[in-house]
Copies of this chain bind each other. A is one copy, B any other.
């Protein structure tokens, strides 16, 4: 039963405005919420209608009757995250709406700055809004935390200790919206349900894996946040290591959170850092809210390995950066060269499988075919499956998937604490080694020194 009261903390923020309210609208339109109400809460003194109105422009093809349903069931409570009294007031409103609409399940979404997580969680407990789930409970209470979940292993432990006092792991959703992207959630199914990939997915046939998440934009208006975190903490710790985990994990017993998270955790535990190169784009230090002496990286390449039987000897290269020449998120899998004596241009190009996530959602397989007019010369040719061209638009958006799964109790798109621990261990190890920081031109492929990295490890970035 998808009946629940959605309590959104930070309801006047950007995430709520741009993503969460539009996603709830879609859930209503797609009839994925049977009975529901929404309570927004934030510091601002606004009406529910005024809060909702700000989301209108982010809803495509707005249907007035759906919008009307959303409006009728949306309420607002001004609330200071630091004041327990305000949470008591929120609790009153919650009980009142639950009675009115015959609801009992409570779904909390923390769309707030990460440093409020602990305060909010404690106040939710103290005001009686949430409680630890017991086997006999008729209703569930669940809570969603956005990234970043800490800024290192120690701080992540602190936040988690605070949360774990109040919740079981099954109630906690540390969401990574990357995991909701169609192509990302496809990875496991594609790996394990295709005979042309499954037997080859190991160090006998795979030569190396490259995971890239590059951007052309800079830090925009997020200077204050970004300068504290940098590329490693902002995207490597979460999105990129999750992509690595999905690519490398052993087959789970079933494709549900309970088993997927276990396999992701096991593989993340075995990640070993071999080499790293960091960069910072020129003029970064003069951006708004950035420390003029900042040593924060806006670019990082990592050479990781995974110490288990499937992946021994296979490099996993990661690359990310802001203000680069290209926006792309993709996993590039390079297969080994076949021991061929047949082509005149042997060794020929190896096969590559690209799982393109952004901007193009696609699978791309680079094969060798005969060059026309020659009997024994091969050339690489592309085989492509374009996800958007095939399935068309109308695929659920990330946040719609995320809310729908959390309300259903599915945790595949949420990260278990042991995964977070392993990921921070990797990042902390990199941080501790204090790799030098190289400058790079805006719009370039990264620091000039990254060519040395390629030479040193006998590799070439696929993109």
Contact indicator A375/B185 (Cβ below 8 Å):
yes
Contact of A255 among B342, B348, B382, B385 (CB under 8 A): B342
- Alpha-carbon separation in the docked complex, A391 to B378 (Å): 13
Contact indicator A254/B372 (Cβ below 8 Å):
no
Residue numbers in B under 8 Å from A368 (CB-CB): 189-190, 193-194
- Alpha-carbon separation in the docked complex, A3 to B338 (Å): 38
How many whole Å from A78's CB to the nearest CB in chain B?
36
Contact indicator B342/A189 (Cβ below 8 Å):
yes
Question: Does A367 make an interface contact (CB < 8 A)?
Answer: yes
Which chain A residues in 336-377 approach chain B with CB under 8 Å?
336-338, 340-343, 346, 348, 350-351, 353, 363, 365, 367-370, 372-373, 375-376
Question: Does A186 make an interface contact (CB < 8 A)?
Answer: yes
Question: Does A66 make an interface contact (CB < 8 A)?
Answer: no
Question: Does A251 make an interface contact (CB < 8 A)?
Answer: yes
In the complex, how many residues of chain A place their beta carbon closer than 8 angstroms to a beta carbon of chain B? Answer: 60
How many whole Å from A379's CB to the nearest CB in chain B?
9
Q: Which of A35-43, A90-98, A195-203, A237-245 contacts B (4 or more CB under 8 A)?
A: A195-203
Residue numbers in B under 8 Å from A188 (CB-CB): 342
Question: Does A192 make an interface contact (CB < 8 A)?
Answer: yes
Contact indicator B338/A198 (Cβ below 8 Å):
yes
Residue on B with the closest CB to A373? B396
Residue numbers in B under 8 Å from A336 (CB-CB): 195
Which chain A residues in 12-50 approach chain B with CB under 8 Å?
none
- Alpha-carbon separation in the docked complex, A195 to B380 (Å): 13
Residue on B with the closest CB to A410? B375
- Alpha-carbon separation in the docked complex, A390 to B197 (Å): 25
- Alpha-carbon separation in the docked complex, A383 to B194 (Å): 13
Contact indicator A189/B369 (Cβ below 8 Å):
yes
Contact indicator A343/B375 (Cβ below 8 Å):
no
Contact indicator A195/B375 (Cβ below 8 Å):
no
Which chain A residues in 368-413 approach chain B with CB under 8 Å?
368-370, 372-373, 375-376, 378, 381-385, 387, 390-391, 395-396, 401, 405, 410, 412
Question: Does A205 make an interface contact (CB < 8 A)?
Answer: yes
Question: Does A316 make an interface contact (CB < 8 A)?
Answer: no
Contact indicator B396/A372 (Cβ below 8 Å):
yes
- Alpha-carbon separation in the docked complex, A353 to B196 (Å): 9
Residue numbers in B under 8 Å from A376 (CB-CB): 189, 254-256
How many whole Å from A351's CB to the nearest CB in chain B?
5
- Alpha-carbon separation in the docked complex, A86 to B40 (Å): 102
Contact indicator A365/B196 (Cβ below 8 Å):
yes
Question: Does A287 make an interface contact (CB < 8 A)?
Answer: no
Contact indicator B196/A351 (Cβ below 8 Å):
yes
A to B CB contacts below 8 Å, 29 in the list? A185-B375, A186-B369, A186-B370, A188-B342, A189-B343, A189-B368, A189-B378, A190-B367, A190-B368, A190-B370, A193-B340, A193-B342, A193-B348, A193-B378, A194-B338, A194-B367, A194-B368, A196-B196, A196-B197, A196-B365, A198-B338, A252-B342, A255-B376, A367-B385, A369-B385, A372-B395, A373-B401, A375-B405, A381-B390
Other A-B contacts than A193-B346, A195-B336, A198-B338, 7 sampled, CB-CB below 8 A, are: A185-B370, A190-B368, A199-B199, A254-B341, A256-B376, A369-B385, A382-B390
- The 9 tightest CB contacts between A and B, nearest first, are A195-B335, A186-B370, A372-B395, A383-B385, A255-B376, A383-B383, A193-B368, A189-B370, A255-B342
